[in-house]
Amino acid sequence: MCCDGTLFLHAKAEREEAERLAAAGHELQEVEEGLRFRLPCQHFQQHRCTIYPERFTSCRSFRCRLLRRLDLGEVTLEDALATVAKARELVSRLSASNGTLTTLEGRRRLRKAGQPSVSASKEEKLSSGRLHLDSLALDMFLEKHFRQKEKREPEPDPS
């Protein structure tokens, strides 16, 4: 889900790989944090990486929150697999309704578009409401189990 755009809009790119990324067809963007390229990755096809042995540094080193928790023994392999299966079920539910909602970009576009107009039929409003709820449910699940939690500075003690 990290390569197909389900979790993220972009992947970090290392400067020393910029030429190789560009040659592979990735359009690099300069941002405050460095370089990045858009997801889904064009090398992710039929649920696998087509350049796996030569994948980029960010792809090679990325470990989602769930995988880190598995490595630390905080969750069992059985629980981790069940979590992945649940995430895929949520993605599949959205895909059945609207395939563009499987990517984070598609879900963000849905939220920006908002609800249907007042003149929309009851069925259109219900369908839109279901899509919004399913979209939010997926992103909340992904946030809880897969995305890295940002380290924040502790709040100052008010006393």
Predicted local distance difference test score (pLDDT) of residue 37: 93
pTM for the whole structure: 0.81
Q: Which residues pair with residue 35 across a beta bridge? A: 13, 30
- Given a contact cutoff of 8 angstroms between Cβ atoms, the answer to whether 21 and 13 are in contact is yes
Residue among 141, 153, 13 at smallest CA distance from 65: 141
Predicted local distance difference test score (pLDDT) of residue 159: 46
pLDDT along the chain (159 residues), means of 10: 93 92 92 92 92 92 95 97 97 91 92 79 83 94 87 49
- Using DSSP's 3-state secondary structure scheme, residue 35 falls into strand
Predicted local distance difference test score (pLDDT) of residue 68: 95
Containing 130, the helix (H) or strand (E) segment is helix 122-145
- 28 CB neighbour count, 10 Å cutoff: 17
